[in-house]
Amino acid sequence: MGTDLHAPLGQNRRPGRQRRLPPFGRILGGLCLIAIAGFSLYSALLRDDLKKTQPIETAKKEDPAPPSDAKPAAAGQTGLTQVDPQSGANTTRVVTNDGSVVTMFSPNNRDGNGPVLINANQVGQDPRMAATPNDSLLEDSPFGKLPITGPSGLRPMDQYARPWSGARGIRVAIVVSGLGLSQTGTQRAIEKLPEEITLAFAVSGNSLQRWMQDARRGGHEVLIQVPFEPFDYPSNNPGPDTLLTSLSSAKNVDNLHKAMGRITNYTGVMNYLGGRFLANTSAMEPVLRDIGKRGLLFLDDGSSAQSRSGTLAKTLQVPHAFADVQLDGELQRDAILRKLDELERIARRNGSAIGVASAFDESVDAISKWSEEAAMRGIEIVAVSAVADDPKRP
């Protein structure tokens, strides 16, 4: 070791030996360089190929022309031009000489230059117009405007029906009747009852057209209640212009038309009392026939075990329904809730059920409470038109 303390450190060191990689390391390093160079060359070539790639063809292909050996199918076979009801396109199938079937699609020509109007669903009414009657479904009469089936076959039952899901589940229809008889009771029922509940207006009530408009704006389906002769008539009198077994069929139909003219936008007729009249086939037949001709349904409230309305309506091909449970025979909230539970059991057994009640406060409160919980148990509350037996329904 030297003794010069002022010399910089490391200046007097002897040069060391240079480190060299072993032969194997040099070979491995060369291979890595070759691999890197090869990958770079591949990437460059790939970019050139991508640049040369043509853009994907997005233009719509022209309709293929039929093969030269194509021939139209014989009459009665597939091969005639048909119109697809969903798209409106023409579908043509032709058979070639080798037996192959060629299908061609082409637009369907239409007359005129105006817009195309598509009627996707005739059942139900635009909520914005629910309180406005369809003039094509009304006719003038000495008793006011009466419902009729439209020129296109559209029925009031379809036009004013409340739409529903169409699901194959458990369905319950609840009809609250007697609206119009009490102004405060009617207003309370319309405001508190869920919109799925069907409301029936008694034709002897007041301000019916105004209440109907409120009900329809609230989403409710509407029926009218027509007074029919009970067994204890005249001691029990349903009101003026009651349909009676002692009257001629023409007079009973006139009284029916008086009732029909009181209100619009309803899907059907419901009886008010009427045990004797419902049991008399001769008296019921012209009335049911007129109801069906006008595109309406008939709901029997189920109060008379002797009623023949169901059998007669089926014979006449009139849309009809029959109530399964009278919900408020005992006017107590708990009793009505028990009847609603009974209605649910019937619906689970049969797929659907109909309950009827009057517009008492106890009934309105119980139905409102029960309806809130029904959906959680897998029940769909629907309007009465959704569960009616309709001969025209597929």
**Cα separation values, 257 from 179, 202, 253, 294, 327, Å:** 19, 14, 6, 11, 29
Residue type, 379: I
Q: Where in the chain is the domain with CATH 3.20.20.370?
A: 129-386
Q: Are 329 and 299 in contact (CB under 8 A)?
A: no
Q: What pLDDT, in 10s, does the model give residues 176-214?
A: 999 999 999 999 999 999 999 999 999 999 999 999 999
Tell me the average pLDDT across 22-33. 61
Read off the pLDDT of residues 85-123 as tens digits, 9 standing for 90 and up: 334 445 565 666 665 555 565 655 544 454 443 333 445
User: What is the average per-residue pLDDT within 49-71?
Assistant: 46
The DSSP code for 106 is E
CA atoms within 13 A on the CB side of 186: 20
Model pTM above 0.75: no
Residue-wise pLDDT for 266-275, tens only, equals: 999 999 999 9
Spatial separation of the C-alpha atoms in residues 83 and 326, rounded to whole Å: 49
Residue 168 scores a pLDDT above 70:
yes
Report pLDDT for 394: 73
Rounded (10°) angle between helices 281-293 and 309-316: 50
| pLDDT tens, position by position, 379-390 | 999 999 999 999
Structure-token pair, residue 344: 């649910």
- Mean pLDDT computed over every residue of the chain: 82
With 60 as the cut, is the pLDDT of residue 289 above it?
yes
- Cα gap 32→51, rounded to integer Å: 29
* Cα gap 262→144, rounded to integer Å: 7
Would you say residue 65 has pLDDT above 80? no
CATH class of domain segment(s) 129-386: alpha beta
Residue 155 has pLDDT above 70, yes or no: yes
The whole-angstrom separation of Cα 167 and Cα 46 is 56
